[in-house]
Amino acid sequence: MVSGFSKLNKLEKIDYLVDTCFQGSQRVKSQLKEFWHKDLDAQQIFDEFSENTISNFYFPYGLVPNFVLNDEVKIIPMVIEESSVVAALSKAAKFWSTRGGFHAQVVSTIKLGQVHFIWNGETENLIKFFNANKEKMFAHVAPLTMNMEARGGGLKDIELINLTEQEPGYYQLKVSFETCDAMGANFINSVLESLGQFLKSTIPNYYGFSDDERDVQIVMCILSNYTPDCLVKAWVECGVEELNDPSNGMSADEFISKFHRAVRIATIDPYRATTHNKGIFNGIDGVVLATGNDFRAIEACGHAYAARDGQYRSLTKCSVNNNQFRFEIEIPLSLGTVGGLTSLHPLSKLSLQMLGGPSAKELMMICASVGLAQNFAALRSLVTSGIQKGHMKMHLMNILNQLEATEVEKEIVRKEFESKVVSFKSVREVLEKLRGLH
């Protein structure tokens, strides 16, 4: 056990770690320091993102060119470590660039927060209190919402929710917000805590309550990452004949039939739906990370939305009507383009500049379209050549690096596997033969 660890400086933290876990290894100490940013000012920014930081953990920062969205050509920044995602996205972007590109529109941008509280009394009396004080609640938080209102956002509505059948005395204030181009977490939480204080100070003095009804317990005041009314749609569509592609190894009709069935299976079976939707987030998360947004909140919301009818299902849909193929996604995405890491991380700022300085709504459309593109690429592989052929080709370099292959060995092995299925075992065997070990 260690006391006062947070008060140690970075080098002292590293020394403690190395002495405790790595037998004082100077190699480990040097390795951690090698990943420090050479610019000390930049490193200080990274250090202050979190606590007890000792180094940086790098992820690849890649690009997807030729991405046509709403008739504009974009270069998409991607932060992801998984092999084949960027390659698959690039292929899907190129494929759809000659078929009208991707289309997207924002449905709504409302975000939610909750004041959870316990109050024991007659529900009708609480409803009367709420109706009598709703406007006063808006006035109470006006100093906090004034600046957001000036930008077109603010506090939109407050609802009283009765959940006493599930938990004795349990009620909520369900609060709706518009946060414009900010993700708005700090703004929302500040307003919610102020509303909690309003309840705490007002309920004991309300004339309509009996003595037994003057006690309230504020359990917590916190935003919800489930934002089903912060919703965006994206889609691609083309004539059936435009899906004739010799590389698929099948006719357009057969391809569409298999593709449609694959989506249908992900709608029926939650086991398949989980992997199906994970692939969507391979695309979305890459952009979310590159722009300094919270991928954990985005995923939690998306997965909750996928289960909104009581069963976890695909987030995408496929249809064919009047000889037109259509593939679409509807997904809640609560994103920001100002504040937080979007303003602090140098590469997040660069990503947003690369995307043309998008508004939060525009970033929602970009992310949804990238998620749809990644899902299209994955399904296309699954129903034609299979997922492993392309994936393991991309994974070959990781295997070679893991086996510490030289540049000469890498080139020989790449040629060896141009027409072979890649596996760790087979690559190792080829390397061992090259090295005279087999």
> 82, 122, 157, 167: which one is catalytic?
82
Alpha helices in 22-141, H assignment, sequence order: 26-34, 40-47, 85-97, 123-140
Q: How far apart are CA 20 and CA 329, in angstroms?
A: 49
- Residue closest to 348 by CA, chosen among 295, 290, 293, 294: 290
107, containing H or E segment: strand 103-109
Q: Is 82 a catalytic residue?
A: yes
Three-state DSSP state, 85:
helix
108, containing H or E segment: strand 103-109
Q: Is 391 a catalytic residue?
A: yes
> 278, 389, 420, 433: which one is catalytic?
278
**Inter-residue contact 69 to 104 (CB < 8 Å):** yes
Q: How far apart are CA 352 and CA 293, in angstroms?
A: 11
Q: Side chain identity at 206, as an amino acid letter?
A: Y
288, containing H or E segment: helix 270-290
Q: How far from 256 is each of 166, 314, 368, 383, 416, CA to CA, in Å?
A: 46, 17, 22, 10, 34
> 47, 213, 237, 294: which one is catalytic?
294
Q: Is 254 a catalytic residue?
A: no
- Residue closest to 354 by CA, chosen among 341, 366, 344, 364: 366
Contact partners, residue 437, CB within 8 Å, separation at least 6: none
Residue 184 has which token pair? 């708005």
**Inter-residue contact 255 to 243 (CB < 8 Å):** yes
Three-state DSSP state, 98:
coil
Active site residues: 82, 278, 294, 391
